[in-house]
């Protein structure tokens, strides 16, 4: 079921910008995130920004949790996800002063391309950290604004927003691998790994090899982070 073909009630102000998103924006999954999760069939997992539930469904199918909970801004996407999860709360995570879970409730929290859409991602991370069990993991991702295409755009004196990608017009924050890591550290997490994902064709790969890995972040389209409490 696609949210783009479904009629709904009038949208809240925070939802309107997402109406121009390409097909599949709310239904994607991250196999690398699924693989990173421990094989714990008793785990409780929270996903922030679950969309229509594609990633959660993959995690449930892999037998890596007993309970799956989520928060999703977009109403129609949340309605789809409710068909598969134990609980989906629809709303803006930044405006939720109280969340319905006790501290140290979850074994893992997932945030795939969410934090760049928030006005104060640090405050949200601090709010979520208390929900995580000691030793519980966080998996997060964000587009890399240090990608060479963005740098070349800046060298041309431009700042051109788009409907998706690193320059998504719904982004309120932009991160490099180092600043993404620092964000989590400032929130009190212990960062275990930060890696860049993706290159742009054979030319990018050739340049990356010539630079001997010293500037790999120039060719990373995505930032992937793993941390724990």
Location of structure tokens 């054979």: 202
Distances (CA, A) of 1 to 23, 79, 82, 115: 11, 10, 12, 26
- Structural domain spans, the chain: 3-228
Q: What digits encode the pLDDT tens for the residues 103-130?
A: 999 999 999 999 999 999 999 999 999 9
Kindly state the tokens that stand for 97: 């002063």
139 close to 170: Cβ distance less than 8 angstroms: no
Q: Is the pLDDT of residue 52 over 90?
A: yes
CATH 3.40.50.150 assigned to domain 3-228? The reply is yes
Q: State CA 157 to chain mean position distance.
A: 29
Query: Which of 3-7, 125-129, 188-192 shows the lowest mean pLDDT across its residues?
Result: 3-7
For the chain, the average pLDDT equals 87
Separation in Å, CA 60 to CA 33, 53, 56, 170, 215? 13, 10, 6, 29, 37
Sorted by sequence, the CB contacts under 8 Å of residue 201 that are 6+ apart come out as: none
d(CA 168, CA 171): 6
Which residues 6+ apart lie within 8 Å of 107 measured at CB?
A: 38, 40, 43, 44, 45, 65, 132, 133, 136, 137
The answer, yes or no, to whether residue 213 has pLDDT greater than 70, is: no
pLDDT recorded at residue 2: 37
Q: In this predicted model, what pLDDT tens digit does every residue of 164-176 receive, in sequence order?
A: 888 899 999 999 9
**Residue 4 burial (10 A CB sphere; 0-12, 13-18, 19+):** middle
Res. 19: pLDDT tops 70: no
SS3 1: coil
Average pLDDT over residues 22-40: 78
pTM attached to this predicted model: 0.84
If you average pLDDT over residues 142-169, what whole number do you get? 91
Nearest CA among 121, 15, 32, 150 for reference residue 72: 15
- Measure the CA–CA gap between 214 and 171, rounded to whole angstroms: 28
Radius of gyration of the CA atoms of the chain, in A = 18
């Amino acid at each position: 079921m696609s949210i783009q073909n479904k009629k709904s009630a009038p949208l809240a102000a925070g939802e309107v910008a997402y109406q121009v998103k390409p097909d599949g924006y709310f239904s994607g999954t991250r196999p690398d995130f699924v693989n990173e999760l421990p094989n714990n069939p008793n785990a409780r997992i929270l996903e922030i920004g679950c969309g229509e539930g594609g990633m959660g469904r993959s995690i449930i199918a892999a037998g890596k949790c007993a309970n799956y909970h989520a928060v999703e801004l977009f109403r129609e996407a949340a309605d789809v996800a409710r068909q598969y999860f134990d609980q989906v709360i629809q709303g803006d995570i930044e405006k939720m002063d109280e969340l319905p879970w006790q501290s140290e409730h979850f074994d893992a929290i997932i945030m795939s391309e969410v934090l760049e859409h928030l006005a104060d991602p640090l405050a949200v991370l601090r709010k979520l950290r208390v929900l995580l069990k000691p030793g519980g993991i966080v998996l997060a991702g964000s587009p890399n604004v240090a990608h060479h295409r963005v740098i070349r755009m800046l060298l041309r004196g431009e700042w051109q927003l788009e409907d998706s990608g690193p320059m998504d017009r719904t982004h309120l924050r932009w991160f490099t691998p180092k600043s993404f890591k620092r964000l989590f550290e400032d929130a009190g997490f212990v960062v275990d790994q930060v890696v860049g994902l993706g290159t742009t064709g054979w030319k990018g790969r050739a340049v990356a090899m010539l630079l001997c890995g010293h500037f790999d972040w120039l060719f990373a389209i995505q930032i992937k982070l793993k941390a724990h409490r």
